[in-house]
Homo-oligomer: A and B are copies of this chain.
Amino acid sequence: MTPNAIDRLVAQLSKLPGVGKKSASRMAYHILDGSSGYAHALAEELAALHQAIRRCGICGGFTETDPCPICADHGRDHALICVVERAQDLRIIEESHEFNGVFHVLGGLIAPLEGVGPGDLAIGKLTARLREHQVREIILALNPTVEGDTTALYLQKMLKEFPVEVSRLASGLPVGGDLEYTDRLTLSRSFRGRVKV
């Protein structure tokens, strides 16, 4: 017999990734215990989110302006395109400060079992970019999973008709990882991708 308004909020919060019923309940009570200012600030950000954010017409990343600040930045290397699965991967790569090119968001990976084919991804848009602009290299920053490998293989073959170099992020032991706890596939990849020192 808990108040309905709390139950409804818990139900909504439980839909967030990584949030079960217990965490959602903790969050709801935390919000209730606090001032109503926080609840309203969060509500406003949520309500404004889909109005403020759209997808960049060039790379497909989330942005408040179209084209996005990255695509509009002349200081970046527009001949180097990093292909990612989702818009949030773009954020992670940006935060590493490792990359000064531009991005292309596929919007998913080829997954025949889930009915996702190449036609469902922003691949046509990528080839259009290659035709319209001079591109030197494409880095496939896709997850080292079955779907990521399939998609990378497909793109590799398809991009052969363009005069562009295609590379993929190295796969192997994570920094700080332990050989003892590394799975066989990762270990086999680290061997095949070993670097001379």
Contacts and interface: CB of A to CB of B under 8 A. Distances in A.
Interface of A: 1-6, 8-9, 12-13, 15-19, 23, 25-33, 36, 38-50, 52-53, 62-64, 68-70, 73, 86-88, 91, 94
Contact of A38 (B15, B41, B52): B15
A89 to B, nearest CB: 10
| Total copies of this chain within the assembly | 2
A26 B88 contact: yes
Contact of A42 (B4, B12, B62, B68): B12
B9 A45 contact: yes
Contact of A5 (B2, B33, B45, B73): B45
A13 B49 CA distance: 13
Q: Provide the main secondary structure of the chain A interface.
A: helix
A29 B73 CA distance: 23
A43 to B, nearest CB: 4
B30 A16 contact: yes
20 contacts: A1-B69, A2-B91, A2-B94, A5-B45, A6-B49, A12-B41, A15-B38, A16-B27, A17-B30, A18-B27, A25-B88, A26-B88, A29-B86, A29-B91, A31-B49, A32-B53, A32-B62, A36-B49, A43-B47, A46-B46
A30 B88 CA distance: 9
A46 B26 CA distance: 14
A42 to B, nearest CB: 5
